[in-house]
């Protein structure tokens, strides 16, 4: 009956990602509370309307009992979501271990874990085994719901094994894989103990996509150097089979942000914020609290700016909204404490009885509050140490049609390649450079702000998430047609 529901004129798209776009919280045996999750992938794909989409993924909760699983399947079906059930040990080894402790830092150039090399080496194999097992569980759910002709779009570093699992069970399935993080230089990828197998499993897909041309190039050179395969302008060729590799820069649903700014409650919120910070320039950071986002470096740069520019001390405020993430991991707990300590020190140093220079919130904001905040901001600070793309920079630009504020953007975010001409690009590791960029942004004349904003606004409103998904899927369809033609020749 689920299969019949799918029938529609739009093309059916099975989006497979580690997490569903909702998190489930249990309220008794047969009742579930579903909440939209915060994150880049969710923000991008929720705007995609061209396809008859179903999500397949983990709901972020351990459900060992059959009753719970049945009721959750039912609750999620209303949101067009299909759960993959993972037990606690698998989550620990696959998600916390292999995905977040090994692949995530490595792909962001932070290296493999080093604290206890022996322990890491010993646990590496069990984490990798759990990774393979989890990917097979995802494949089983896809196979159960797949109907011939569906496009299966696998997402991110959690599911690098999935294309191979799917093709093993059905070589005719249309399989695409997209990476939301950077793909690092082949010299970094070479350090990964499972470097070979993880390239081969991804190459099983028909189409492999990255945010930028650089990431695609790194992937192709990893295949050349590590697997000895031939890289062509189209992708990677292995014994006559071509895997197409290309860049598909993601975007946002810009209209959703622009429309939200007209809502009375958002306007009211903007008015409140303007009154609250009257007489001060507003600087904004919105990030998941993750090492790749460079929060300590950003806040230290702001401190340096205040140190060197006493005339600005009571005229500028930094609002840093940091949504906690992976809170059970010790490294993330240490990062949180470090950020709190730096913020406390700076507020103690430069604050007065009536005002502090930094408002740091450890939480996520609802969509309308976020839009209001973006709209009243004078300078946004996106200083990721590495970032696949970074959608916050896009969201800020979408909300700045009236104010034409300035974007300070890390050159190590994928977004630097698309918004670089309008933003002030910085090396986030260079605190002095970021501090002087803050001064430059705060003093920027209106005509320069206007010009820079115009460039970026045009990009953000024309390179949307809808366009991103449509381009990827149409390229995947074309790739398959071309492969069929090649086989016939």
**Footprint of ligand ADQ on this chain (CB under 6 A)?**
38-41, 43-44, 180-181, 250, 286-288, 321, 323, 364-365, 370, 387-392, 395
Q: Spell out a b/e string for 213-246, using b for 16 or more CB atoms within 10 Å of the CB, else e.
A: eebbbbbbbbbeebeebebeeebbebeeebbbbb
Question: First vs last Cα of the chain: how many Å apart?
Answer: 40
Q: What is the CA radius of gyration of the chain?
A: 23
Nearer to ligand ADQ, 71 or 325 (CB): 325
- How many angstroms separate the Cα of 162 from the Cα of each of 66, 315, 439? 26, 52, 47
* Helix, coil or strand: residue 404: coil
Q: Token digits for 440?
A: 């430059």
Q: Which is nearer to ligand ADQ, 173 or 372 (CB)?
A: 372
Give which of 187, 182, 232, 179 is closest to 208, Cα–Cα: 179
How are strands ordered across the β-sheet holding 81-83? 81-83, 52-58, 12-19, 151-155, 174-178, 207-210, 241-247, 235-238, 230-231
CB of 47 to ligand ADQ, least distance (A): 10
Contact 366, 425 (CB under 8 A): no
Closer of 40 and 176 to ligand ADQ (Cβ): 40
Distance CA 164, CA 91 (A): 21
CA 297 to chain centre: 20
Which CB, 295 or 321, lies closer to ligand ADQ?
A: 321
Q: Measured from the CB of residue 269, what is the shortest distance to ligand ADQ in angstroms?
A: 14
Smallest distance from ligand ADQ to CB 483, Å: 27
Residue of this chain nearest to ligand ADQ (CB atom): 40
CB nearer ligand ADQ, residue 41 or residue 416: 41
In the complex, minimum distance from the CB of residue 238 to ligand ADQ, in angstroms, rounded to a whole number? 27
User: Minimum distance between the CB of residue 260 and ligand ADQ, rounded to whole angstroms?
Assistant: 12
For the CB of residue 447, give the shortest distance to ligand ADQ in the complex, in Å.
29
Please say which residue, 93 or 393, places its beta carbon nearer to ligand ADQ: 393
Q: What tokens appear for 17 in the block?
A: 């990602």
Q: How far is the CB of 157 from ligand ADQ (least distance, A)?
A: 10
Cβ 367 to ligand ADQ, closest distance in Å? 8
For ligand ADQ, which is the closer residue by CB, 151 or 252? 252
Ramachandran class of 206: left when φ > 0, alpha when ψ lies in -120 to 50, beta otherwise: alpha
Nearer to ligand ADQ, 224 or 369 (CB): 369
């Amino acid at each position: 009956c689920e299969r019949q529901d799918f029938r529609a004129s739009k093309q059916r798209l099975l989006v497979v990602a580690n997490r569903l776009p909702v998190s489930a919280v249990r309220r008794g045996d047969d009742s579930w509370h579903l909440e939209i999750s915060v994150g880049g992938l969710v923000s991008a794909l929720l705007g995609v309307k061209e396809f008859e989409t179903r999500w397949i993924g983990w709901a972020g909760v351990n459900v060992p009992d059959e009753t719970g699983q049945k009721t959750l399947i039912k609750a999620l079906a209303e949101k067009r979501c299909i759960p993959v059930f993972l037990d606690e040990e698998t989550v620990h080894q696959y998600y916390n271990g292999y995905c977040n402790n090994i692949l995530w830092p490595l792909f962001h150039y932070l290296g493999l874990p080093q604290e206890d090399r022996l322990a890491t080496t010993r646990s590496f194999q069990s984490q990798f085994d759990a990774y393979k097992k989890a990917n097979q569980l995802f494949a089983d759910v896809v196979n159960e719901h797949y109907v011939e002709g569906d496009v299966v779009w696998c997402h991110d570093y959690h599911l690098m094994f999935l294309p191979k699992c799917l093709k093993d069970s059905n070589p005719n399935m249309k399989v695409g894989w997209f990476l939301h993080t950077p793909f690092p230089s082949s010299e970094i990828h070479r350090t990964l103990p499972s470097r070979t197998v993880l390239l081969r499993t991804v190459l099983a897909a028909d189409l492999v996509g990255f945010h930028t041309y650089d990431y695609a190039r790194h992937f192709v050179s990893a295949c050349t150097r590590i697997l000895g395969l031939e890289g062509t302008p189209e992708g990677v060729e292995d014994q006559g089979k071509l895997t197409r590799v290309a860049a598909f820069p993601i975007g946002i649903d810009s209209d959703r942000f622009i429309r939200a700014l007209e809502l009375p409650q958002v306007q009211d919120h903007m008015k409140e914020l303007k009154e609250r910070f009257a007489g001060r320039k507003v600087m904004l950071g919105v990030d998941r609290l993750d090492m790749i986002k460079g929060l300590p470096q950003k806040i230290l740069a702001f401190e340096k700016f205040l140190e060197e520019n006493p005339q600005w001390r009571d005229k500028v405020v930094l609002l840093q909204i940091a949504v906690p993430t992976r809170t059970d991991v010790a490294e993330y707990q240490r990062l949180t404490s470090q950020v709190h300590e730096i913020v406390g020190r700076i507020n103690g140093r430069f604050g007065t009885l009536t005002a502090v220079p930094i408002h740091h919130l450890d939480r996520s904001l609802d969509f309308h509050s976020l839009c209001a905040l973006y709209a009243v901001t004078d300078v946004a600070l996106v200083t990721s140490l590495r970032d696949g793309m970074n959608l916050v920079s896009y969201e800020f630009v979408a909300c700045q049609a009236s104010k034409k504020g300035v974007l300070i953007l890390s050159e190590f975010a994928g977004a630097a390649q698309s918004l670089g001409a309008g933003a002030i690009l910085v090396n986030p590791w260079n605190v002095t450079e970021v501090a002087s960029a803050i001064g430059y942004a705060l003093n920027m004349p209106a005509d320069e702000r206007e010009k820079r904003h115009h460039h970026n606004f045009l990009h953000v409103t024309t390179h949307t998430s809808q366009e991103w998904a449509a381009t990827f899927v149409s390229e995947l369809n074309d790739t398959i047609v071309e492969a069929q033609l090649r086989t016939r020749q």
